[in-house]
């Protein structure tokens, strides 16, 4: 089960990793906590509806098994009580055995990402389920900051070592292309993908229940 803050996080951020999980035969469920209404890119009265269509189309491309879209405040997830976020994750959990999300520091500097992951990690911990956090290595975070002025962060220290995955970006690129309102060619995304090539970094934390390999 994937828990993200915004429509496009599943593609711009996690797309290659989710593609790999689906390719490995997993049923991947998506919970997206906001409608992305605060985006300054593509802003307008139809933005929420458009982003809803975009994330559904992207989920279909990625081969996700189900999608649940919530409408908590975009830009304000960190002010929503963690219990409330956790309850939503619990409602969607079903028989999931792996919680997937952005790295706990938020990756891009957006606090919504950290809030979504905090809820996912809390549920993982409570149910002794494994968790998988997607992030960028320190060097990529540093270069994105230097090249395009972002506030990306690497992996939190002391929470387990990230591991590198070789990924195929073809499906991710098709999912990214669904998010027309968010500029699939935006410089931050394109710079990250150029820096990383076919590599992604994830932190897997096991909590007692074995995953099938």
Alpha helices in the chain (DSSP H): 15-23, 47-62, 82-93, 111-127, 138-148, 170-176, 187-196
Rounded distance, CA 78 to CA 76, Å? Answer: 5
Q: Of the two residues 19 and 36, which places its CB atom closer to Zn ion in the complex?
A: 36
Q: Of the two residues 40 and 213, which places its CB atom closer to Zn ion in the complex?
A: 40
Q: Of the two residues 97 and 190, which places its CB atom closer to Zn ion in the complex?
A: 190
The answer to whether the beta carbons of residues 148 and 187 sit under 8 Å apart is: yes
DSSP assignment of 161-191:
--EEEE---HHHHHHHTT-GGG-TT-HHHHH
Q: Of the two residues 108 and 131, which places its CB atom closer to Zn ion in the complex?
A: 108
Which residues within the stretch 1-20 sit at the binding site for Zn ion (CB under 5 A)? 5-6, 9
CA quadruple 101, 103, 105, 111: dihedral, nearest 10:
-30
Q: In the bound complex, which residue of the shown chain has the CB atom lying closest to Zn ion?
A: 6
CB of 212 to Zn ion, least distance (A): 30
CB of 110 to Zn ion, least distance (A): 5
Q: Of the two residues 5 and 99, which places its CB atom closer to Zn ion in the complex?
A: 5
CB of 130 to Zn ion, least distance (A): 23
Pairing type for strands 130-135 and 98-102 reads parallel
CB of 59 to Zn ion, least distance (A): 15
The answer to whether the beta carbons of residues 104 and 121 sit under 8 Å apart is: yes
Tokens representing 78 are 């960190």
CB of 37 to Zn ion, least distance (A): 13
Considering the rule CB under 5 A, would residue 192 count as an interface residue with Zn ion? no
Rounded distance, CA 24 to CA 27, Å? Answer: 9
The contact set with Zn ion (CB under 5 A) reads 5-6, 9
């Amino acid at each position: 089960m994937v828990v993200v803050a915004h429509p496009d996080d599943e593609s711009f951020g996690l797309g290659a990793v989710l593609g790999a999980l689906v390719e490995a035969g997993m049923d991947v469920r998506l919970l997206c906590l906001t409608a992305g209404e605060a985006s300054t890119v593509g802003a307008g009265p139809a933005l929420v509806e458009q982003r809803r269509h975009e994330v559904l189309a992207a989920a279909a491309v990625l081969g996700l098994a189900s999608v649940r879209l919530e409408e908590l405040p975009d830009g304000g997830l960190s002010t929503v009580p963690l219990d409330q976020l956790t309850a939503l994750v619990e409602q969607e959990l079903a028989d999931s055995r792996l919680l997937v999300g952005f790295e706990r520091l938020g990756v891009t500097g957006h606090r919504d990402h950290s809030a979504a992951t905090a809820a996912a990690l809390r549920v993982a911990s409570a149910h002794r389920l494994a968790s998988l956090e997607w992030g960028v290595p320190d060097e990529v975070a540093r270069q994105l900051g230097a090249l395009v002025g972002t506030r990306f962060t690497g992996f939190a220290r002391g929470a387990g070592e990230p591991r590198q995955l070789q990924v195929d970006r073809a499906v991710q690129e098709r999912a990214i292309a669904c998010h027309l309102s968010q500029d699939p060619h935006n410089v931050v995304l394109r710079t990250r993908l150029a820096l990383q090539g076919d590599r992604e970094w994830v932190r897997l934390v096991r909590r007692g229940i074995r995953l099938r390999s």
